Amino acid sequence: MEYTTLNNNIDMPKLGFGVFQIPAEETKEAVLKAIKVGYRLIDTAASYQNEAEVGQAIKEAIDTGLVAREELFITTKIWVNAYPEQNAQVAIDACLEKMQLEYVDLLLLHQPYGDVYGAWRAMNKAVQDGKLHSIGVSNFNRGKLVEFANLVNIKPQVNQIEINPWYQRSDDITWHKKYQVQAEVWAPFAEGRLDLFKNETLQNIADNYNKSIGQVVVRWLLQRNLVVLTKSVHEERIRENFDVFDFELSPEDMNVIQTLDKGESAFFDHWNPEQVERLISWKV
């Protein structure tokens, strides 16, 4: 496993297992498979509706001696309606209770809307109380990240954003580095959109290393010093996504992948007014 050191001097695994869109009834088994394969970073969220099942998997993995708690790096996120300071305090305790944990390694603000500053104050207090070890944000664009980092006492340790071959966000990453905020990747494969897994350029590179397109994409992201989240419920694919530490892409191949950038989200613009309305009105 490769690690990155956050701006609070805590080490974070660079490859993690995400559970977005995994049904609750399948989550426990998927997380256990991931831990057995070697994943130590597990990422969930209140809005995924499977925090409890993630917690069940963690408890079983620890109780059976598969892993020690301190070896794991557990991330969850609170939703917009939990951002007012008092709500955030309740939400933090609720996630710990659901997951049967004394602390969470990283808590993120899931969206950049609403009372982010009130939530941040509650998160700061939870760090002081030992309930959280690191705190961060998600889906903040570079402008919002710079504004936020300049107005809070403790800078975010992490910003989790969409990055994939179609949406490479080099400018955003430059600003993350300037403010020492670790960029973390969701949807590294763009959920297969625009036929990513059939792309001829990526396939040619994969063939050269005797790897899959998915493995090449993960390696490309790791070599950009990004934290990467992958997801699957199938053990073979979970293993494949983890099997990326025995090769390195050449500078030439890194540059070739750079030419695939389309400069726009494969999903939606988080700053489109209609999307903001939809997300800010959604209750968790």
Catalytic residue, chosen from 39, 48, 83, 167, is 48
Q: Is 209 a catalytic residue?
A: no
The per-residue pLDDT for 96 is 98
The per-residue pLDDT for 90 is 98
Q: The pTM is what?
A: 0.96
Walking along the chain (284 residues) 10 residues at a time, the average pLDDT comes out as 97 98 97 98 98 98 98 98 96 98 98 97 98 98 97 97 98 98 98 97 98 98 98 96 98 98 96 95 91
According to the 3-state scheme, what is the secondary structure of the chain? Answer: CCEEECCCCCEEECEEEECCCCCHHHHHHHHHHHHHHCCCEEECCHHHCCHHHHHHHHHHHHHCCCCCHHHCEEEEEECHHHCCHHHHHHHHHHHHHHHCCCCEEEEEECCCCCCHHHHHHHHHHHHHCCCEEEEEEECCCHHHHHHHHHHCCCCCCEEEEECECCECCHHHHHHHHHCCCEEEEECCCHHHHHHHHHCHHHHHHHHHHCCCHHHHHHHHHHCCCCEEEECCCCHHHHHHHHCCCCCCCCHHHHHHHHCCCCCCCCCCCCCCHHHHHHHHHCCC
For the chain, domains (ranges, CATH) are 3-281 (3.20.20.100)
